Amino acid sequence: MMDRLFFALLTIFTLGHLHCRAQKYVPFPYRIEKEVLADSAAVVSAHPLATQAGLDILRQGGNAVDAAVAVQFALAVVYPQAGNIGGGGFLIYRDKNGGTAALDFREKAPAAATETMYQDTAGRVLSALSRFGIFACGVPGSVDGMWQAHRKYGRLPWPLLLKPAIQLADKGYQITGQEAMQLNEEKGNFIRYNKMVPVFVQVQDWQAGDWLIQKDLATTLHRIAGAGRDGFYTGPVAALLVHEMQKHNGLITEADLKNYTSVWRAPLEFDWQGLRLVCMPPPSSGGLLLRQMLGMLGDTGLSASGLHTAKTVHRIVEIERRAFADRAEHMGDPDFWPVPAQALAAPDYLALRMADFDPEKATSSGQVKAGKLRESEETTHFNIVDAQGNAVAVTTTLNDSYGSRVVVGGAGFILNNEMDDFSAKPGAPNLYGAIGGKANAIAPGKRPLSSMTPTIISENGQLSLVVGTPGGTTIPTSVFQVILNVYIFDLPLLDAVHQKRFHHQWLPDAIQIEEGGLPEEVVGRLEQMGHTVKTRSPIGRVEAILRQADGKLRAVADNRGDDAAGGY
């Protein structure tokens, strides 16, 4: 009876959108450029319509931060699996004179959260609670993050920056084949975790070219455009979010929303082989992992070993293994845990970490522990360089694809499942298999540890590379490998980004490689060394902008998705 009632309601819902289906055979309205050479400015993001929104703002006189705001909100419409206003992220900024800043708009645990909230009475981890449904949601930070970035660096009026997103939500856009496939795969989850049928569900399967119209989201964006951050954290939108929580016995309250604040943090900056890297500090593990991995690499003559040879892969994997062991033990929200960032990056310490490295034999992860010191894969990334030379790298996320799958009724946006990035219990793996401990335990108002690694690199005081990617725990290793591809192996940027990737994160103890990522003889040699090698789905979706010697900008979008580059 309930099933018949649901499908009757779903049919009524779909009939209200038949004008969308009638337009599904309209030719696909935009091209997806994977590489662009620009004279003045460039944008690269996970969706061509978001890239276009950023370019339009730049052409209207906006700067890199203005364009970042436009791209962020556009992605919340056209890339709902990761673009968001119901999640959070990190922003790295470098101005034309070399000044830098880092903005943490990561989600927070609600005030009612407890350290054992995802354990049963026997201490067993209830993993589904932190991954699906209302109980998995942290307090969103994206809207406040964009508001704070704009207040500090923006040039154009705030409402103008949200106009592209509002139009895309209100008038709709045609989805790609990849988007159709993902929406079809998630249909059951959207039905299960929502009391009302969300716009992402229809009776027949989605197809490439179908129109997705999001009227509720358009109304929400109108309110944010008019009232800024208060249009989300107070007033009607906040009331709808809290009502959604109450319907499902969730934890986020009006006070949680009202009290949310983004944090400007000192960027993690360091030098490597004549380059200056600017990264995100904790609660992102990404910048610190990148610093550790580049430090452990040292001057090993990696280029002479060759790209993707067994010798090269073996060394990189052993470095990644040791860095992720440290992540599990020492990294968390610095407002709650004393992260020993300087000690973890000290040259003597990194040399000690590699002291037992055997160039001919794999080290079992069971033998690799965190160093002794004296002192989630669905994310999205975008880069922008404006005509003045200001650069922004932003990584933003709902954590898993489509987050908690909960859509706020009447407001039209998806809530994150970022609570899964905490350690539900010391030693228990999260969605991405990452192990955590006390440093990343749940606490009210705490931000979960992240792997996001937005990075800006300069050389001789001049902007060189802006890079980042989604991919959960594969984010730091993907950025690491792209940096090596560019600066060690001298690959053209397109090849550096599109090159097959591999990953190791200590536990589980296996090298993950993309299908066809390594020659069979290399895999065989690695297995002889004692490595376990497993094939997996594509790793990350790297976006990158490189300033060439002639001053032009080469922007590259990953070929693993619908990502698009643009410039002028």
C-beta atoms surrounding 550 within 10 Å: 7
Strand partners, 101: 93
C-alpha span between 352 and 102 (Å, rounded): 30
3-state secondary structure of 213: coil
Instruction: Please work out, in degrees rounded to the nearest 5, the angle formed at the alpha carbon of residue 514 by the alpha carbons of 130 and 322.
Output: 65
40 closest CA partner among 445, 451, 562, 552: 552
Distances (CA, A) of 329 to 109, 115, 178, 268, 435: 20, 17, 37, 20, 9
C-alpha span between 564 and 392 (Å, rounded): 17
Distances (CA, A) of 403 to 420, 471, 557: 10, 14, 23
56 closest CA partner among 136, 145, 132, 164: 164
C-alpha span between 226 and 230 (Å, rounded): 9
Strand partners, 284: 450
The answer to whether residue 379 is catalytic is: yes
C-alpha span between 506 and 511 (Å, rounded): 9
Torsion from C-alpha of 315, 318, 322, 324, nearest 10 degrees: 100
Of the candidates 51, 379, 397, 473, the residue annotated as catalytic is 379
Check if the beta carbon of residue 528 is closer than 8 Å to that of residue 480: no
Which residues participate in catalysis according to the annotation?
A: 379
